[in-house]
Amino acid sequence: MTKNSGGTALLAIDMQLGMFVSPLIPPVHNGEALLAKVAGLMLRARALRIPVVFVQHSGGKGHPLEEGTQGFEIHPAVAPELDELVIKKRFCDSFQDTSLDKELRSRDITSLIIAGISTESCVDTATRRAFSLGYKVVLVQDAHSTWHASGLKAEQIIVHHNRVLGELFAELVSSDSAFGKAASRAS
């Protein structure tokens, strides 16, 4: 992973095949658009020499993201390049019982741009935990998704979490402006 001067990394959470194509669960809401947004973020990050860090959920036996199954693999539309960091996790917290914090700090990363799945669990928890650990957190408001749940549509869950996380834990940005300051520094 290349070190960048700005101390920023893009964190792509649980962008795995089982979230998009699985006999066990319906595809994530607006999956094709999400893949396009996250792939675009990765292209811009790499062009700016901003590290891309992947978090990959390892589900238990029978889980759509069971390690060793096709569902566990990161979606090829957003696959890591050879030198990019991939962190496996077992909980919705990307930092719990993983080396994520240690790896980020060893690379002088102080700011995280967060995108991925699922809004109300893994994205929400990573955002709050990163904030609590002292990272500057940027949440890409149009580059995370979830499923309909508890009588709420996925869109409602996304809007609600953007509001709550944006008020207290993160700067909200669109995928088009996620690298605004970094891009101007690189010019």
Residue ranges and CATH numbers for the domains of the chain are: 8-186 (3.40.50.850)
Averaged confidence pLDDT in the chain: 93
Q: Enter the pTM of the model.
A: 0.93
Residue, of 155 and 5, whose pLDDT is higher: 155
Closest of 115, 146, 147, 145 to residue 130, by C-alpha: 115
Q: Is the pLDDT assigned to residue 187 strictly greater than 70?
A: no
Q: What is the pLDDT of residue 25?
A: 87
What pLDDT, on the 0 to 100 scale, is given for residue 49? 96
Q: Using an 8 Å Cβ cutoff, are 88 and 113 in contact? A: no
Residue 174 pLDDT greater than 70, yes or no: yes
Given this model, what pLDDT does residue 177 score?
94
Q: How confident is the model at residue 186 (pLDDT cuts 50, 70, 90)?
A: very low
Is the model's pLDDT at 4 over the cut of 60?
no
CA 174 → CA 23, 37, 108, 135, 177, distances in Å? 32, 10, 25, 19, 5
Q: Is the pLDDT reported for residue 127 higher than 90?
A: yes
What pLDDT band is residue 22 in, cutting at 50, 70 and 90? confident
What percentage of the chain reaches a pLDDT higher than 90? 88
- State how far the Cα of 186 lies from the Cα of 76, in Å rounded to an integer: 28
On the question of pLDDT at 1 being above 90, the answer is: no
Quote the distance between the C-alpha of residue 136 and its chain's center. Answer: 15
Q: What is the pLDDT of residue 6?
A: 62
**Band of residue 185 on the pLDDT scale cut at 50, 70, 90:** very low
**pLDDT value of position 184:** 46
pLDDT over threshold 80, residue 3: no
pLDDT at site 181: 55
